[in-house]
Amino acid sequence: MDPYKYRPSSAFNSPFMTTNSGAPIWNNNNSLTVGTRGPILLEDYHLVEKLANFDRERIPERVVHARGASAKGFFEVTHDITHLTCADFLRSPGVQTPVIVRFSTVIHERGSPETLRDPRGFAVKFYTREGNFDMVGNNFPVFFIRDGMKFPDMVHALKPNPKSHIQENWRILDFFSHHPESLHMFTFLFDDIGIPQDYRHMEGSGVNTYTLINKAGKVNYVKFHWKPTCGVKSLLEDEAVKIGGTNHSHATQDLYDSIAAGNYPEWKLFIQTMDPDIEDRFDFDPVDVTKTWPEDIIPLQPVGRLVLNKNIDNFFAENEQLAFCPSLVVPGVHYSDDKLLQTRIFSYSDTQRHRLGPNYLQLPANAPKTAHHNNHHEGFMNFMHRDEEVNYFPSRYDLTRHAETYPIPPVVLTGKRDKVCIAKENNFKQPGDRYRSFTPERQERFVKRWVDALSDPRLTHEIRSIWVSYWNQADKSLGQKLASRLNVRPMM
C-alpha cells in the first residue's frame, strides 16, 4: 500500500466510521461506561477525540470580510495587452486561467444579514502558471482612508461599540469627522448602490493602484474594474428590510442557486492605465486610494471575462479557509506607492498566518496549481510530503536554481524619512462631482440617509456642523439642504 496515495479526502471515505487514525468505530452512539449507568471512562478514546475535534471546529473569523460566499470558474483573456504587461496569464486572447472568487460584506460578523448597508468585498484568486495572483478589492472604486496607519482605528469605529456590542452612527461619524478624505467613499456607501441586490449584480474594483510592467521594462500605473454582464442592481431600504427579514443569506443562496441552474455569473475586466511620467498633470495624486481616475481622460480598456461556473465543494475548506493577500502578484504585475496598498501587503498575509497558521498557503484552496519549491518547512500543520536532504540554498548537491529574471519597476527612490500627508489631498471635488451626477430623486435619498445618520442623539452639535461643512465644500446645495433639515450651520 502506498502510504501517500490515500491522503485525507472524502474521495477515499471508508464504508464504516473510523477514528482520525483510521481505526474502525463499532459504536458511535454510546459512551464507554462502567456498567450500564456508571461513570464514563477516560479510556474511551473515540469519545475524547470526537469532543476535542468538535470543541476546535471554529477558527477565528476574519476581522473584516467575515461574512462571505465563494464560487469557482475561469478567467479568459479577450484582448491583447502584452504591450502593457509580461504577465503569463495575460499572454494572448483565448488563454484561460482557473479562479476562485469570494464575495463578502466588510464590517459585519460571520452570521450577519447580507442586506446591511456596507461595502462588499470582491476578491479573485487567479491560479496562474507563474503562481497565484490575488486581486483583492471591493464593489466601490475608492476607500475611506488613504493611509493604512488609520486602518485599525477606522475598523474599530465601524465595528460595534465595545461596551454594548451595537454598531452606532455617532462612533462612525465622530471618527470620520477627522478625515474629510472619506467623503468620496460615503458618496458610494450612502448612495443607492450601498446595498447591492446580490453578488451577481454588483461591480468590482481592485481599488488600489498597481503597476503593469512589459517585457521591455516599461511601467504603467493600472486600476482594475469588473463590470457585471447582467447589470448593476441594488436594494432600497424597504426592500432590504423585507428580504433580510425573510432570508439573511439571500446573496449566498442567489449565487449558489444561479450556478447550480447553469445561469453562470459573468463579469468583464477593464483596466485604466497611466504613464507615471504624466501623474503631475492631475489635481489629485493617482495613487491616492480615495480618488478615481476620470474615464473621459483615462478610458476603460477591455481585457477579459470572468465566468463562475462551479459551486464550491465545501464551505469551510473553500470559503472560511480561503485566504487572499494583495501581496500575491506575478511577474508583469507589481505594487505602487499607494500608501494603503503598502500596508495591505504586510497586513493581509499577517492576519492569515494568525487565523489559519503559518502554512496557510498549503491548504488546497490557497496552494498554487503549479510546481513550486522553497526551503520554508515544518511549523504548525505542515502537511507537505518532502524527502529532500538539502533544505538550504545554494547547494552543489541540489541543482535547484534561480528562476529567470523578470522586470520590476526601475524607479529610483529619493527623499528624507518623514510622516506626512500627500501634497494633493483635494478631498471635496470628486465627492461633489459624483453627487451632482445623481438624478434629483437619487440626491434626495442620499440627503435623507445623511439626515438620518446625523440625527443620532449622541452626536454633538460640533460634529454635525463639521459634516455639514464638509458636504457644503463638496456641493453648496447639498450643504444647504443638510444645514436646513438639521438646523445647524457649517463650521467653516
Rg of the chain in Å (alpha carbons): 26
Cα–Cα distance, 431 to 435 (Å, whole number): 6
Q: Are 286 and 293 in contact (CB under 8 A)?
A: yes
What distances in angstroms separate CA 410 from CA 90, 329, 351, 386, 451, one per listed residue?
22, 17, 30, 37, 49
Q: How many CB atoms lie within 10 A of CB 282?
A: 17
The one-letter amino acid code at 343 reads: T
Residues taking part in catalysis: 65, 138
User: Does 199 show up as a binding residue in the annotation?
Assistant: no
E strand or H helix that includes residue 116? none
Q: What angle do CA 156, 237, 143 make, to 5 degrees?
A: 40
SS3 451: helix
Cα–Cα distance, 251 to 309 (Å, whole number): 16
Give 295-301 contacts, CB < 8 A, sequence gap 24+.
298/272, 298/273, 298/274, 299/272, 300/225, 300/270, 300/271, 300/272, 301/79, 301/81, 301/270, 301/271, 301/272, 301/273
Q: Are 471 and 485 in contact (CB under 8 A)?
A: no
Residues belonging to the binding site for heme are: 348
